[in-house]
């Protein structure tokens, strides 16, 4: 039996690890377009970007692990064709057959045309090389403009301020992260960045003049799932590759995980596509089991975390399209801005907790997870 994993990011690296750890001893091929072995991306906007952690800490394994575990790892190689009917892929000019295949092709940052045309150096953050470029640019006194106050934009902003840069952030929404956190908690992040000297311009479109005044423009306006291979192969695609509860695509021998997987979540009762670290890991593990013959549904709730200045946060759950009735807060929201305090927040719909987070309260990690689905 031959299993091919397309995409050598965190999900791909985790999948081949799980397959070997669970005793799969067939042929295993891992194909990735980057020159590096699989690595985690959160450090690129956190510890590695801040200069606190070496890049080796972000690797799933050192490169020699793949040969030692009989994984045919092919870096700097792009899969250009997928034929599900023939069970073949084309990569690096070679045609490879498979019995089962996992798509873990990740996503690509959305570009901002105005920044590209303004003539000011413009950067995105997705790869090790991107993070290296930002580290060099983040020098004391440098004028940095960040477009987009999402997770990446705000983490990059915190790193730039830590390096002594002057930072201006443009966000068209009225609050940063408001689409995820709602106005009650999003205000905390606005206050936090302003308290650290960030010129936070909310509800404000950026202009060419704004960009021209910067030494570097960092764009963080979201990502697009890399679904081109799946589309040309005839797999069902709609805001990602459509997968069932067991992470199978419309072809029963092809699975998809991570950023590209639009998952029919059996617990939430609706489709969800999650672009976060834990989902890449946990979906890859479940898919590995199913590639090897199991039939496990992926039931884990969405989770994400962030580190900004002295604020650390974990969030579990998902507010559905019907929204929420209220947010219950245990603790003082303003304390995390003024004195590194902590709080917990619970999003409640029809009396039931649908999502929860903590800020700077690491004893609450399991508490918030276990609160989902309970009455409040």
For the chain, what are the domain ranges? 2-108+223-291, 111-219, 310-371
CA angle (282, 287, 291) in 5-degree steps: 155
pLDDT at 57 over 90: yes
Report whether 3 contacts 19 (CB < 8 A): yes
* CB-based burial, 161-194: b 16+ in 10 Å, e otherwise: bbbebbbbbbbebebbbbeebbebbbbbbbbbbe
Percentages of the chain per state (helix, strand, coil), in multiples of 5 = 30, 30, 40
Q: Residue 348 pLDDT more than 90? A: yes
b/e burial code for range 317-344 (CB count within 10 A of at least 16 → b): bbbeeeebeebeeebebeebbeeebbbb
Nearest-angstrom CA–CA distance, 286 and 18: 9
The domain made up of 2-108+223-291 has a fold known as FAD/NAD(P)-binding domain (3.50.50)
Chosen CATH of 111-219 out of 3.40.50.300, 3.40.50.2300, 3.30.70.1520, 3.50.50.60: 3.50.50.60
Q: What is the CATH number of domain 310-371?
A: 3.30.390.30
Cα separations in angstroms, 280 against 286, 325, 344: 10, 30, 25
| 118 token code pair | 């303004």
Per-residue pLDDT, averaged over 225-229, amounts to 98
What is the per-residue pLDDT across 130-167, written as a single tens digit (0 to 9) for each?
A: 999 999 999 999 999 999 999 999 999 999 999 999 99
Q: How far apart are the C-alpha atoms of 83 and 86, rounded to whole Å?
A: 6
Confidence of residue 116 (pLDDT cuts 50, 70, 90): confident
Contact 200, 176 (CB under 8 A): yes
Identical fold between 2-108+223-291 and 111-219: yes
Confidence at 340, pLDDT banded by 50, 70, 90? confident
Answer yes or no: is pLDDT of 110 > 90: yes
The stretch 51-72 carries a mean pLDDT of 96
């Amino acid at each position: 039996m031959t299993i091919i994993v397309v995409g050598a990011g965190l999900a791909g690296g985790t999948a081949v690890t799980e397959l070997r750890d669970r005793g799969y001893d067939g042929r295993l091929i891992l194909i990735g377009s980057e020159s590096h072995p699989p690595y985690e991306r959160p450090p690129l906007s956190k510890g590695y970007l801040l200069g606190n952690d070496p890049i080796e800490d972000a690797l799933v394994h050192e490169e020699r692990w793949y040969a030692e575990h009989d994984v045919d790892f092919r870096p700097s190689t792009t899969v250009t064709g997928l034929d599900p009917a023939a069970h073949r892929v084309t990569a690096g000019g070679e045609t490879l057959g498979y019995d089962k295949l996992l798509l873990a092709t990740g996503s690509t940052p959305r570009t901002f045309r105005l920044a590209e045309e303004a003539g000011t150096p413009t950067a995105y953050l997705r790869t090790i090389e991107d993070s290296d470029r930002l580290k060099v640019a983040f020098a004391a006194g440098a004028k940095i403009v960040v477009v987009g106050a999402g997770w990446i934009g705000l983490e990059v902003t915190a790193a730039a301020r830590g390096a002594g840069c002057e930072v201006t952030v443009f966000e068209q929404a009225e609050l940063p992260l408001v689409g995820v956190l709602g106005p009650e908690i999003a205000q905390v992040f606005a206050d936090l960045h302003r308290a650290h000297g960030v010129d936070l311009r909310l509800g404000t479109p950026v202009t060419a003049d704004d960009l021209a005044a910067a030494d570097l423009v960092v764009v963080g306006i979201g990502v697009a799932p890399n679904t081109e291979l799946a589309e040309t192969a005839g797999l069902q695609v709609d805001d990602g590759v459509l997968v069932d509860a067991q992470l199978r695509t419309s072809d029963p021998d092809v699975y998809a995980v991570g950023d590209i997987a639009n998952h029919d979540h059996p617990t939430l009762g609706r489709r969800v596509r999650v672009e976060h670290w834990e989902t890449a890991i946990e979906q890859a593990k479940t898919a590995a089991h199913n590639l090897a013959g199991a039939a496990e549904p992926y039931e884990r709730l969405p989770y994400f975390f962030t580190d900004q200045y002295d604020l650390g946060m974990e969030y579990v759950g998902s507010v559905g399209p019907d929204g929420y009735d209220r947010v219950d807060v245990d603790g003082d929201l303003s304390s995390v801005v003024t004195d590194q305090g902590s709080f917990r927040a619970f999003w409640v719909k029809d009396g039931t907790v649908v999502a929860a987070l903590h800020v700077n309260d690491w004893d609450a990690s399991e508490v918030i997870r276990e609160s989902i689905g309970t009455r409040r």
